[in-house]
Structure 1
Amino acid sequence: MIEMKVAGIALEAATRSPIVLLRDASERRQLPIYIGQDQARAIISVLENQAHPRPLTHDLMVNIFDEIDIVLERVVIHSLQDSTFFAVMTVRQGEVKKDIDARPSDAIALALRTRSPIWVMEEVVAEAALPVDRDADEAEQKAFRDFLSNLNPSDFTQRGRSTSSES
């Protein structure tokens, strides 16, 4: 699994549909997930530290979690099927842990409010992530190819073995 952070909300150019952008720690891969307008507003309100006079739905859920001692331990975006992402929230109440099915957008909105980590399965990242810095990726690939082309069999000699015989 790869831990990711919310990089922001973008709008798809043609349809103006909101997209939450998750980015890995190296800031080399970005995972775009289309979300609804309400979830986009819920995520933006946390990112921009907006206060509301009354709790919004995700704030209400966090308040309920607090009142009944539920901790959101993590969010995991675990699969992508027919262009739809699937997530689970791992919650703990005392010694009892449960995985609860959730839309990624709702799970992300709750994770931001509780400062819980967001994880994405590697298969999902491999299938749907976009490179953030294509030039850096190409430079890294070129450096690796150059490294491989300059390898000699003698570079693979065993090290750390004693050459003297011990009695």
Structure 2
Amino acid sequence: MIGLDVLGIRLVSPEEPPVLLLQEQGGSRCLPIWIGNIEAAAIAVALEGEPPQRPMTHDLLASVVDLLGDGVGEAGAVRITRMHDGVYDAVLLVGGHEIPARPSDCVAIAVRLGWPMECPVALMDQVGVEVEESSTDEVEAFRAFLDTVNADDFEDE
């Protein structure tokens, strides 16, 4: 297994979904995972370490999952397990259980709880890409985007 760290969230263009970059620890390759705007915002908020005024869905889920882990005396972890037809699979490892979930949700929880993240070496060899150093302009652009959206922007038509 390869340990992973959140390198950041990138915006290719305003029309494209955000890309979550998970970098291999001690290496230069990343797993690029396209995620939704809501999940990107949830991860970005957690990375900033600023607690919300009211718990959001990922905060609630992190609290519940943390209780499950504490009940057996162990912390949890996240494993990005595979990619099939362009879609990544992941699991939360907690309390001796593997709970299938979207990678973006797993990362949002892991960042909140300080849990380690990992993937199989074969997955990184299959889809890992070299990524240049992040630009502060992209981070600022994403923050500006977050400042302009509200919940109504995500309603189904």
TM-score w.r.t. length of structure 2: 0.75
Q: Which amino acid aligns with 2:15?
A: T
The counterpart of 2:82, out of the listed 79, 84, 90, is 79
Partner in structure 1 of residue 6 of structure 2: 6
Partner in structure 1 of residue 51 of structure 2: 51
Q: Which amino acid aligns with 2:79?
A: V
Q: How far apart are 1:50 and its partner, in Å? A: 2.4
Inter-partner Cα distance in structure 2 for 1:83 and 1:67: 33
SS at structure 2 position matched to 1:109: helix
Question: Which segment drifts farther, 11-20 or 101-110?
Answer: 11-20
Quick check: which has more Rg, 1 or 2?
1
Inter-partner Cα distance in structure 1 for 2:36 and 2:75: 22
Q: Which amino acid aligns with 1:90?
A: L
Number of matched pairs: 129
Q: Which has the higher contact order (CA 8 A, sep 6+)?
A: 2
Q: How far apart are 1:64 and its partner, in Å? A: 2.1
Partner in structure 2 of residue 131 of structure 1: 130
Identity of aligned residues (%): 35
Partner in structure 1 of residue 92 of structure 2: 89
Partner in structure 2 of residue 105 of structure 1: 104
Partner in structure 1 of residue 19 of structure 2: 19
Q: How far apart are 1:126 and its partner, in Å? A: 1.1
Partner in structure 2 of residue 137 of structure 1: none
Gaps spanning 5+ residues in structure 1: where?
134-167
Q: Indicate conservation of the 8 Å contact 2:66/2:75, yes or no.
A: no
SS at structure 1 position matched to 2:76: strand
Question: Are residues 56 and 72 of structure 1, via their aligned partners in 2, closer, same or farther at CA, if it must alter by over 3 Å?
Answer: farther
Question: Are residues 24 and 67 of structure 1, via their aligned partners in 2, closer, same or farther at CA, if it must alter by over 3 Å?
Answer: closer
